[in-house]
Structure 1
Amino acid sequence: MESPPKQHATSPKESLSWPVVAIAGLIVAIFYFVVKGFGPGQKQSPLVWLESAWNAETRMEHGFMVPLVSVGLIAWQWKKLREVASRADWRGLPVAILGVFFFILAHRTGQPRIAIGGLPFILWGSAWYLWGWQVARLTLFPMFIFLMAIPLPQIQLATTKLQLLSTELAQVGCSWFGVDIEIRGVKLYSTNSNWEPLEIDEGCGGIRSLMALILISSVWAYLAKMALWKKALLCFSAIPLAILGNMLRLTSIFVIAEYGDPDFARNSWHDWSGLLIFYPISLILLLMTHSLLEGGMPKLRKLRTRKTVVVSQSPAN
């Protein structure tokens, strides 16, 4: 009796026509790269507007990193995506249509943020429709993290509040090291007149570093193997950790100005303290938060588990 032929998993090439995908991708590229109606004078396409919006004024100089991270996460699990790809799933079609509706609405109103916000819906819904739910599940985060590339419309208000908070926290940090300062608005004065007044400007408020750390913590939480509520807690911990890291960075500037060279503190150290103080401290604190949620350092926990298994399997004396 002959055995039935083996069922092979449906590959992406078998589940759809790649020319159709290429044509659909070309249409999306034309709408987002070529079709104008946004930005100054409504002379920019959505993605051209987005690239121009990644500037110091919006505190989004790191915006170009977001699509790179998105593509990198998809490439990282490309092999698994090919394995789980299945037949078309019509449930993804309404999601893609919703994204198209966002684009049409944005074009009618001249709102580029709405157009950019619709792009992940179009791409994710299309992936769901063409390759099935398992592909959609794996690409959900990599697709929608692209929304973090959109500059916030009320960023100036958040910048001002963070600027005032940073000023107060800098005074607290300086008191730990015996540096007496006086606050006048967003300027800090040495009570001993050891250095010229230093101002906590918009950049020093930490909004730029906060946005970058939120991106890092989001990807970190996505890659971490832990419960969903722990992932959310790890992601949102970036907000207090960024504030704390910026407080220590500002404190170091005033301490150096008080006990060292004020000119060096105001210029060279101010420019480099973000890389030398903020990011190392913030990333260490993020690692500590991860370890606290997981009950220990991930690597050490694996080593302890391996040693426990070896000891339990060893023969008794």
Structure 2
Amino acid sequence: MLPCIPHFILSFITPSRSRGMTRRGPTQETMDLRTVGNPWMRLPWLVHFERRDICFLLFVTANVLWFRGPLALVLTSSLQDEYSQHYSHIILIPLLCVYLLYHGRAAIFARVEWSPLLGSILMAVGGAVSLGTEEPASEALDNFSATLLSFVMICWGAFLFCYGAQAFLAASFGLGLMVFMVPFPSFILDAIIGFLQRSSADAVKLLFSAFGIPVIREEFIFKLSNFTIFVAEECSGIRSFLALVITSLVAGHWFLTSWWARVLLVTVVIPLAIIKNAFRIVGLTLLANYVDPTYLTDSALHRSGGIPLFLLSLIVLSGVVWLLRRWECRPASMITR
């Protein structure tokens, strides 16, 4: 079964140092002796596979099996139309976390040590969260928030147990992104959607005024000459907002060094997502009002028109990253002037 495991998954959990000492691979003579009569040992990654790596894989495998029901439900539901607006990002988070750990493996696993006490405490807390959670009354994804949080905490505890505090801190960004696997509780999700809905409606009003389009607004209702629209919760743009937030976090981690630049980059996402969503609403409304009502009721532009605007938002976000990176590279004397 082991050869079926992708090499890139195994390689990121193969540290280069152990207990502050450099890991020394076996000599060629030793490798030749090991491989005699044992084809498994001809695999280079298996020669360097250590007890802590096997222990971590066993912890994670047991964790996945224990939570297999909620995990399968959340991952499959995130692909369904009913939930994809809010949770389509969930299925990509494990892959992103694995890649980030693989990408930073040299720094993460430079110093590793066993940390059974801290790891056990964190896993125990995660288990307590799971045991203290009542059985969900329905299969709504937000009912599994505590369950998935427990799964994530146990994964964190397993990593801390097997690789120690220094490796855990070095991998904190990749591990921290696992939080996005947890469905938002209803009160948090409703607050985010409500904010985006109100902000998008305000931005739509400003765009109509800037374009000189006569419109009557009644909270979320906009009445034009031939058409009336309602900025519903489905029009809040939360899916693209979450995608931009995750993208900005990763971009800040990779390309920026100062905490203020990373915070500023994530902050820029809020108005960027609102403006992007407002342009989409205004564009579809004008087409429906002056060209054909089906542009807003049943059209490919309505269903997929947000994709080009999202790509444009990524271009704008890239420009912001470039500006912040240039600002960070300026001499300190120039910044303080």
What TM-score, normalized to structure 2?
0.70
Measure the CA separation in 2 of the matches of 1:94 and 1:51. 28
Measure the CA separation in 1 of the matches of 2:275 and 2:182. 25
Q: Which residue of 2 aligns with 1:268?
A: 300
Instruction: For residue 106 of structure 1, give the secondary structure of its aligned residue in structure 2.
Output: coil
What amino acid is the match of 1:64? I
- Counterpart of 1:94 (choices 104, 121, 125) is 121
Q: Which residue of 1 aligns with 2:175?
A: 143
Contact kept? 2:119, 2:157, Cα under 8 Å: yes
Do structure 1's residue 129 and structure 2's residue 161 form an aligned pair? yes
**Which structure 1 segments of 5+ residues have no match?**
1-6, 34-44, 306-317
Q: Which residue of 1 aligns with 2:133?
A: 106
Measure the CA separation in 2 of the matches of 1:255 and 1:135. 54
Do structure 1's residue 283 and structure 2's residue 318 form an aligned pair? no
Shift of 1:235: 2.0
Shift of 1:109: 8.3
Shift of 1:227: 0.7
Q: 1:186 to 1:117 in 2, by over 3 A?
A: same
Shift of 1:22: 4.0
What amino acid is the match of 2:62? I
Contact kept? 2:119, 2:161, Cα under 8 Å: yes
Q: How do 1:167-186 and structure 2 match up within 5 A? A: 167-186=201-220
Shift of 1:124: 2.2
What TM-score, normalized to structure 1?
0.74
Shift of 1:129: 2.4
What amino acid is the match of 2:58? I
Shift of 1:10: 6.9
What amino acid is the match of 2:258? A
Q: Which residue of 1 aligns with 2:251?
A: 220
Do structure 1's residue 240 and structure 2's residue 271 form an aligned pair? yes
Partner deviation per Cα, 1:161-193 (whole Å, 9 max, x = no partner): 432332232121122222212223433221xx2
Shift of 1:260: 4.5
What amino acid is the match of 1:27? A
Partner deviation per Cα, 1:113-164 (whole Å, 9 max, x = no partner): 2221122322222222212333212321212212112222222353244323
Q: 1:14 to 1:205 in 2, by over 3 A?
A: closer
Contact kept? 2:221, 2:230, Cα under 8 Å: yes
What amino acid is the match of 1:65? L
Partner deviation per Cα, 1:238-295 (whole Å, 9 max, x = no partner): 2222112212222222343455544336533322321112x13322332233233333
Q: Which residue of 1 aligns with 2:23?
A: 9
- Counterpart of 1:30 (choices 46, 65, 68) is 65
Q: 1:85 to 1:273 in 2, by over 3 A?
A: same
Q: 1:22 to 1:204 in 2, by over 3 A?
A: closer
Q: 1:255 to 1:238 in 2, by over 3 A?
A: same
Q: Which residue of 2 aligns with 1:42?
A: none
Q: Which residue of 1 aligns with 2:280?
A: 249
- Counterpart of 2:238 (choices 196, 207, 211) is 207
Q: Which residue of 2 aligns with 1:159?
A: 193
Do structure 1's residue 50 and structure 2's residue 107 form an aligned pair? no
Larger deviation: 231-240 or 7-16?
7-16
Larger deviation: 7-16 or 238-247?
7-16
**Which structure 2 segments of 5+ residues have no match?**
1-20, 26-46, 138-142, 332-337
Instruction: For residue 23 of structure 1, give the secondary structure of its aligned residue in structure 2.
Output: helix
Measure the CA separation in 2 of the matches of 1:161 and 1:230. 24
- Counterpart of 1:69 (choices 96, 101, 121) is 96
Measure the CA separation in 2 of the matches of 1:209 and 1:87. 40
Measure the CA separation in 1 of the matches of 2:74 and 2:89. 12
Task: Determine which structure has greater relative contact order: mean sequence separation of CA pairs < 8 Å that are 6+ residues apart, divided by chain length.
Answer: 2
Shift of 1:14: 7.9
Instruction: For residue 67 of structure 2, give the secondary structure of its aligned residue in structure 1.
Output: helix
Q: 1:201 to 1:164 in 2, by over 3 A?
A: same
Instruction: For residue 237 of structure 1, give the secondary structure of its aligned residue in structure 2.
Output: helix
What amino acid is the match of 1:89? S
How many residue pairs align between the two structures? Answer: 278
RMSD over aligned Cα atoms: 3.2
Measure the CA separation in 2 of the matches of 1:276 and 1:137. 38
Measure the CA separation in 1 of the matches of 2:291 and 2:49. 69
Q: Which residue of 1 aligns with 2:140?
A: none
